[in-house]
Structure formats: structure tokens, C-alpha cells
């Protein structure tokens, strides 16, 4: 039996960028066009097997709506892992994602390993280029992938890289 490392993971980002869809794709390999808006937060878990250990992600999928913003610190406090999501066709959601990254860094004092996901890659008319987000991610020390919950692109890679990078006790 290999050792299992468990981590609380939070998803943050503007409403409708695809946080719940990424979670459901990763945990159940499902996608729905009519994903119900999340109220408060939902909890789901999945294990992934690495070389000689297993990583268990205990995922808190929060509601990104402004009116729930004050609830967010309650969810991310003490979380070793965060996925901050934006929609590649929505510039405003990218600016918002950068704010989440800054907030996490300040309040968690760099104890959270952060991955940035540029979701809805399958759609045309991207307003944020891979190059721009990549440069930002490198400067901030973030994992970065463009993803599509719809076509199942980049999501496994994102979580695998997080599993690799998270500190093992
Ligand atoms: P959340 O509010 O961030 O949790 O966003 P949801 O997961 O509820 O998704 C919002 C809407 O975007 C839903 O209609 C989803 O079906 C859609 N959606 C989510 N991910 C993708 C994606 O990768 N591509 C496309 N085209 N639509 C997506
Ligand atoms: Mg949601």
C-alpha cells in the first residue's frame, strides 16, 4: 500500500467561469451544459495515484458570486491547494482571477500552492492569450494550464501537476 497524502483544495473565480464543471469533469468525468449554480460551497473528493504515493484532493467548490465573496476566506483558510479559474473569452474574469491570486498570497502567506486555469478553451474569440497568462503565472510561481471542462482538455494535467508540486509531509 502506498502512502496517501490528503489535501484540501479550493476553487475560486468569477461566477460562470466553470469551477463546478472543472470539478465534475475531474471527479466524475461528467459535463453538463446546464450546470446548476453553486450555492455556498459543494464538497467532492478524488484520489490520484502518483509513482509511489496517492494524492487525495478534498475539493471545496465555492460560489464565485460577489454576494458570497465574504464567505470565501472561510473556505480557503488553511487550504494547501487552490485552483483559480477564469474564462479565456472574458477579460474581466481574468482580472478577477489575478485579484484572487493576490488575496490568497497575502492572506495565506504563500502556504497555498496555486494553479491558474484558463477555462473554456474550446470557445472561439479568446480575450486572454496563453502567452499573457503564462508570463503572469511564471512571474507569480503558479501552475498554469488552459482547460476545457467541455472537451476534457488540460484538467488531468492541471491536477497532476498540483499533486506533484504539493509538499509531502
Ligand atoms: P461556475 O459558476 O464557475 O461553477 O461555472 P459552471 O461550472 O456552473 O459553468 C458555467 C457555464 O459554463 C455552464 O453553462 C457550463 O456548462 C459552461 N462551461 C463550463 N466549462 C466550460 C467549458 O470548458 N467550455 C464551454 N464551452 N462551456 C463551459
Ligand atoms: Mg459553481
pTM of the model: 0.94
pLDDT on residue 67? 61
pLDDT on residue 92? 97
Pair 81, 113: CB distance under 8 Å: yes
Split at pLDDT 50, 70, 90, the class of 7 is very high
- Determine the length of the chain: 169
Which grid cell is 136? 503572469
Q: Say if residue 112 is exposed, middle or buried (CB neighbours under 10 Å; 0-12, 13-18, 19+).
A: buried
- Grid cell 495565506 is found at 108
Residue 115: pLDDT over 90: yes
**Residue among 18, 28, 66 to mutate when testing ligand 1 (max atoms within 8 A of CB):** 18
Q: Tell me the per-residue pLDDT of 70-102, one tens digit each, with 9 for 90 and over.
A: 677 877 888 999 999 999 999 999 999 999 999
Q: Tell me the per-residue pLDDT of 12-69, one tens digit each, with 9 for 90 and over.
A: 999 899 999 999 999 999 898 887 777 767 789 999 998 889 999 999 887 765 566 6
- Grid cell 466524475 is found at 28
Mean pLDDT of 134-159: 98
Write out residues with Cβ below 6 Å of ligand 1.
Answer: 13, 15-21, 33, 35, 37-38, 64, 119-120, 122-123, 148-150
The Cβ of residue 142 has, within 10 Å, a number of other Cβ atoms equal to 18
3-state secondary structure of 40: coil
Atom of ligand 1 nearest to the CA of 121: 23
Query: CA-to-CA distance for 20 and 16, rounded, in angstroms?
Result: 9
Amino acid at each position: 500500500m502506498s502512502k496517501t497524502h490528503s489535501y484540501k483544495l479550493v476553487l475560486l473565480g468569477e461566477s460562470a467561469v466553470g469551477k463546478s464543471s472543472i470539478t465534475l469533469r475531474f471527479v466524475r468525468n461528467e459535463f453538463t451544459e446546464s450546470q446548476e449554480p453553486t450555492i455556498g460551497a459543494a464538497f467532492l473528493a478524488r484520489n490520484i495515484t502518483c509513482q509511489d504515493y496517492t494524492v487525495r484532493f478534498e475539493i471545496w467548490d465555492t460560489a464565485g458570486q460577489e454576494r458570497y465573496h465574504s464567505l470565501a476566506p472561510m473556505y480557503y483558510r488553511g487550504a494547501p491547494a487552490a485552483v483559480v479559474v477564469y474564462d479565456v473569452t472574458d477579460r474581466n474574469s481574468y482580472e478577477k482571477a489575478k485579484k484572487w491570486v493576490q488575496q490568497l498570497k497575502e492572506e495565506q502567506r504563500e502556504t497555498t500552492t496555486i494553479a491558474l486555469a484558463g477555462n473554456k478553451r474550446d470557445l472561439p474569440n479568446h480575450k486572454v492569450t496563453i502567452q499573457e497568462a503564462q508570463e503572469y503565472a511564471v512571474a507569480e510561481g503558479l501552475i498554469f494550464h488552459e482547460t476545457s471542462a467541455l472537451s476534457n482538455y488540460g484538467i488531468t494535467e492541471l491536477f497532476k501537476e498540483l499533486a506533484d508540486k504539493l509538499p509531502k509531509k
